[in-house]
Structure 1
Amino acid sequence: MKKSRKFTAIALAACMVAPMAMAAVPFTASAASIEITGIGTEQHDFEVYQILKGDLVDGKLCNLFLGSGVTAYNGMPLTAGSKVDDATVTAMAGTDARSIVSKITLGTPYKTVSSSSSDLTIDGLEDGYYVVKDVTNLDNKDDANSAWIVQVAGDAHVTVKNAKPTVDKQIQDEAADKDTNSTDAEGWGETADHAINEQFQFKLTAKIPANDQIKAYNAYKLVFNDSMSAGVTFDSIASVTVGGSPVTAYTETATGAADKAGLSWELTIDDVKPLVPSSITWGEQEIVVEVVYNAHLNENAIVSKSDVTDGDKDHVNNNKVYLEYSNNPDSTGTGTSQTGKTPEDYVWAFTYGVDNTKYKNEALAGNELQNAGFRLYDAAGTTEISLIFDTTKNAYRPIKSGEAAAEMKSAADGKFNIIGLDAGTYTLRETTTPSGYNTCADVQIVIAAAHNENASGTAANLALTGSQNMNNNIVNKEGSTLPSTGGIGTTIFYGLGGVLVLGSGVALVTKKRMKKDEE
């Protein structure tokens, strides 16, 4: 729920005029009252301080006396009930609630009230001038205190707007196979798929709303709290921007972490206000704070080999963020000041696996063939996908920096499974054929993935419809060879050779005799 809050500050005069704009708001009450709307669904607690009291006649507050809620002005003690002269009234005047409150010392609340809905009527008041303070403890809640409300009590209506920011996390994919719900040309969305050890980016976006309530903050703090699942490794911060302009005034706990896999880390901007570009006016335009960082899937990533429906954190590599933010305009925004907390926002990363088993002659149990060598190539069959055997996963995966690619070999059970592939088309080629067998034809593997986040934003879906050969039984046939020495074929060959030689000899002798007889 996106809301903002604003206060109404009524400048003081010898006779204060109640805002005529309030007459347009339908409101009736038997006594002086202040109606506040737009508070929000959370209960809020308010203290009401009477600063001045008097007679409200024809929309004017006259015959003024000090109220019970103020004990000093600019450090000088004041006595409740004493007559207020024009000079004091004029001196108390301010253009906004903060400047008025900064001049006075508050005493005992005239009234303490709590809201049970988004609307609240503070009734039972005397005609006068009041300060309303939101004293709700909203630490770690997705809500914000309203700033001081300064109001002439009569038939008064004040609308406050909740000034809380939002946060969103996205993951980038190749535009061609991005999240099916995404319309982003650069491939940003709630889900993506990547190969293990392939670098990609996450983006965290906080939006600070534009309203008068935001203007009341002297400082505005933001803390991005980011968490990655065990299968994701943080690499580096790519950029931090406020209002589209790069900034360096932040601290983060990720870069220096000893173990960057499955990392939970923070990026803190102590005060956003001085970082806002001059082209943007604080409180009058929405302010976007964006953090982009690099990461990759590691060997502990969850691998998908079939469809996933409403896959949660135990079935899909998930990453999340929540935002802490200043939510009390009357605090300093430093140290242990109260902060609000947004709900968590998730993104999801898929990676895929292909199962392969090598057989001799026929794909039957007992025919598994060991030590057949294979390599994986791109769709054209020209560029090798560099893989290495991971003993902890009993499968081949894409290499990381410092590792050398290896030829895949079928094990004693004929298996040489592959994990950590991106969506796409691949060529599986036999590169070492066991002796006595013919080399098998290339196998084309197609991983066609459609992925998106579910409607509630708490899980992800995956459909592998259209995929081909993600589970392969690869058969080598024994080769056709010449018979070995001593075989019947050789004997027949030799026998026929002998007959031919003998025949040649007989023919030669016969020819010689015929020649001799002719002589």
Structure 2
Amino acid sequence: MNTKKIVFAGLSALSMTLSPIASSVSTLITPVLAKSVAPATMATPNGVADFGEGNASITIKGNSGQTLVGKKFNVYKLFDAENAVDQESINYTWNDAYKTALQNVVGKKINKSATSVSEYDVIDFLQSLNTNKVEGAQTEQTLEGRYSNYRKFVEALRDEMVKENLAPTTVSVTATRPDGSVKFGGLGYGYYLTDEVTAVQDTHSAASLILTNTANPDAEVNIKSDYPTITKKIAEDDNSIGWNDVGDFEIGQKVPYSFDNYVPNMNGYSTYRAVFHDKMDSALTFNKDSFSITISSAKKSYTLKSSEFNIVQNSGDDTFYAEIPDLKGIVDKQFPEGMNNLHENEYGQNIHVSYNATLNDKAAEKTGRPGFENAVRFEFSNDPDSNGTGSTGETPWDTTVAFTYRINGLKVNNHNKLLKNAKFRLYSDSACQNEVYVNSSPHGYIVMNRDSLGGSDHTGGTRPSSAVEMSSDEKGVFNILGLDQGTYYLKETDSPAGYRELLDPIVINIKPTFTDERNNYNAGEGATDKTLKTLEATAHVKEFLNGAYKESDTTLTTDVAKGSANITVVNYVGTKLPITGSSLTMICLGAGTITVVGALALDKKRKNKKD
């Protein structure tokens, strides 16, 4: 069954059902009868489809913020209607085009053969379903309920007409009026069934329920297609940013995510399936135990039990999806205060989902742009006629992004000779008490945030056995991967042989600049300069040279695309200590040599004289 999403509007005094508003009625002076002469397919220039049959109309309004452009409606005129001169009565005669469908459906209800069902039988049966009978063509009626026998009849009639391939007039909404509505104008007075057969192209919508209304000559109904939305956020823990679409984190840190939507109008559904689909970058590891769903109204909140939803991981393109098999059952049980005697509830409660994911070691290979995206979409029931087992709709994906950074370290002496085996540790505090642990990898030293070690960000937890002290390699290189924005303290703990280590830590500050539109991220923008715009880094160095302290600030070379900052740590070549009396010693040695050499010459001269 492909046709769903019925809107039912009657220009009559028959039963009304499912419309959220009362009829908009104007005074009728002269009754007008209609002939079915409308073209087979119509557009809505300026928001109006002109049937050219009379002076009645049906106005359809969409939900707030939801366009009708792109929708398609099949319009069936079931009955002609004639009002009494003084509006005290109304009479119906069936449209032969749909007579057989009416006979077949009503015949089954009143146990008569279809061919023996008369026009009066059909009208009388419909009136038997009318629990809100009124007299007068202009009298407003109370709506029939979404679970009423009247609604079931209309659904059965719609199905029968489709089964019999009875031709409707099709209206494709190409434009709306300034208030967002569309008008089916030029109608003859009658009883119309309008079947919404498509959702808006490239958008997401839940199917419309059946709507009926009474108006002579005008009917106004709100379409019940609901457009659930979902909003995903990431919690940035720096600079009091909080929940938005963009963040940056250390590797090993637990990244908080949430998404919010609202409970859609589920009246008319027996059950309502709701599914949250989530897909994240492979550099993020979903923490299933952190997942929580809370539904809230203005007066109360309810957190779902684990037995009320299912989480399935690594399904298709999803990292995971969380399914609530029957959202309606949960909301009706926990929020019954809005229920009326027609078993219709008041919906619109907030649904808040929260969980976290750990930024894992794969992030070390992709520092800087494009970042690590995480997206969600909401799948929901959109066929109220199917007992909750029919087709579903989906929202577009809503995406957030996270970034991480790196330091490219180089150890040299003041003659630019590369130095190996210089030892370093990284800290998050100036007292160098809270070490930022790292482990070794082929790409460098990868940060292990304490969130993953039983602590919280930079405090607590247990030092892991894999944590190492950093050391410059034979090329003087030591790279630190997976850093957050903010201040770090790089302390040289041991210098290469023959050199003296720095006494004070180097203070490194990493400062990214993000877009001002932090709540409007679109998938893929992390790879451009639209989101992570610039990256700056500075280093403050305090060193002891020639008997005095020297302090300096250096702007480091950065590469925003790679998320890197380059720092060169210099050890100065040491000079020899003074040697006590060094000049005198050399002179004495020379004199001694000269003295020895002179004595030997003199002795030889004396021997020669004797000879």
Normalised to the residue count of structure 2, the TM-score between the two structures is 0.66
Assess if the C-alpha contact under 8 Å between 1:232 and 1:296 holds in 2. Answer: yes
Of 103, 109, 113, 2:153 maps to 103
> Aligned runs of 1:109-148 on 2, under 5 Å?
109=166, 111-116=168-173, 117-118=175-176, 119-122=181-184, 126-136=188-198, 141-148=203-210
Assess if the C-alpha contact under 8 Å between 2:293 and 2:353 holds in 1. Answer: yes
Residue 190 (structure 1) aligns with? 245
Change (3 A) 1:127 1:84: farther
Residue 225 (structure 1) aligns with? 277
CA deviation string 1:425-465 (max 9, x = no partner): 11111111111111124211112334345685212523556
Q: Given the alignment of the two structures, is residue 12 of structure 1 paired with residue 14 of structure 2, yes or no? A: yes
Change (3 A) 1:87 1:226: same
Residue 253 (structure 1) aligns with? 312
CA distance in 2 between partners of 1:293 and 1:422 (Å): 20
Residue 233 of structure 1 and its aligned partner are, at CA, apart by 1.1
CA deviation string 1:36-94 (max 9, x = no partner): 33353443333334454442235466333455252323633455662348853431315
Change (3 A) 1:302 1:34: farther
Change (3 A) 1:122 1:247: same
Of 45, 59, 77, 2:72 maps to 45
Residue 328 (structure 1) aligns with? 383
Change (3 A) 1:464 1:64: closer
Assess if the C-alpha contact under 8 Å between 1:164 and 1:208 holds in 2. Answer: no
Q: Given the alignment of the two structures, is residue 372 of structure 1 paired with residue 400 of structure 2, yes or no? A: no
Change (3 A) 1:153 1:389: same
Number of residue pairs the alignment of both structures matches: 460
Residue 6 of structure 1 and its aligned partner are, at CA, apart by 8.3
Q: Given the alignment of the two structures, is residue 415 of structure 1 paired with residue 461 of structure 2, yes or no? A: no
CA deviation string 1:279-298 (max 9, x = no partner): 66376342222221121111
CA distance in 2 between partners of 1:414 and 1:61 (Å): 98
Of 479, 492, 495, 2:585 maps to 492
Residue 361 (structure 2) aligns with? 299
Normalised to the residue count of structure 1, the TM-score between the two structures is 0.76
CA distance in 2 between partners of 1:397 and 1:62 (Å): 80
> Aligned runs of 1:448-459 on 2, under 5 Å?
448-452=511-515, 453=517, 457-458=521-522, 459=525
CA deviation string 1:178-214 (max 9, x = no partner): 54xxxxxxx21111111101113111212235xxx64
Ranges in structure 2 where 5+ consecutive residues have no aligned partner = 16-21, 29-47, 132-143, 339-343, 454-463, 540-564, 593-611
Assess if the C-alpha contact under 8 Å between 2:81 and 2:190 holds in 1. Answer: yes
Residue 483 of structure 1 and its aligned partner are, at CA, apart by 7.8
Name whichever of 234-243 and 447-456 sits farther off.
447-456
Residue 7 of structure 1 and its aligned partner are, at CA, apart by 6.7
Assess if the C-alpha contact under 8 Å between 1:232 and 1:295 holds in 2. Answer: yes
Of 21, 25, 36, 2:24 maps to 21
Name whichever of 47-56 and 407-416 sits farther off.
47-56
Residue 602 (structure 2) aligns with? none
SS in 2 for 1:355: strand
Which amino acid is the alignment partner of residue 194 of structure 1? F
Assess if the C-alpha contact under 8 Å between 1:50 and 1:128 holds in 2. Answer: yes
Residue 58 (structure 2) aligns with? 35
CA deviation string 1:11-46 (max 9, x = no partner): 638xxxxx7632299x99751644233353443333
Bigger fraction of residues in helix:
2
Residue 152 of structure 1 and its aligned partner are, at CA, apart by 4.3
SS in 2 for 1:90: helix
Residue 384 (structure 1) aligns with? 435
Residue 474 of structure 1 and its aligned partner are, at CA, apart by 0.7
Identity of aligned residues (%): 25
Name whichever of 165-174 and 44-53 sits farther off.
44-53
SS in 2 for 1:252: strand
SS in 1 for 2:427: strand
Residue 126 of structure 1 and its aligned partner are, at CA, apart by 4.9
CA distance in 2 between partners of 1:302 and 1:344 (Å): 26
CA distance in 2 between partners of 1:96 and 1:33 (Å): 26
CA deviation string 1:229-283 (max 9, x = no partner): 12111112331122231113111113xx599xx9622111122112123266376
Assess if the C-alpha contact under 8 Å between 1:131 and 1:151 holds in 2. Answer: no
CA distance in 1 between partners of 2:373 and 2:272 (Å): 30
> Aligned runs of 1:341-356 on 2, under 5 Å?
341-356=394-409
SS in 1 for 2:490: strand
Residue 509 (structure 2) aligns with? 446
CA deviation string 1:484-505 (max 9, x = no partner): 9xx9949928959x99xxxxxx
Name whichever of 344-353 and 146-155 sits farther off.
146-155
Assess if the C-alpha contact under 8 Å between 2:7 and 2:195 holds in 1. Answer: no
CA distance in 2 between partners of 1:101 and 1:450 (Å): 57
Give the RMSD, CA atoms, in angstroms. 3.9
Assess if the C-alpha contact under 8 Å between 2:471 and 2:478 holds in 1. Answer: yes
CA deviation string 1:369-392 (max 9, x = no partner): 11111111123122211111111x
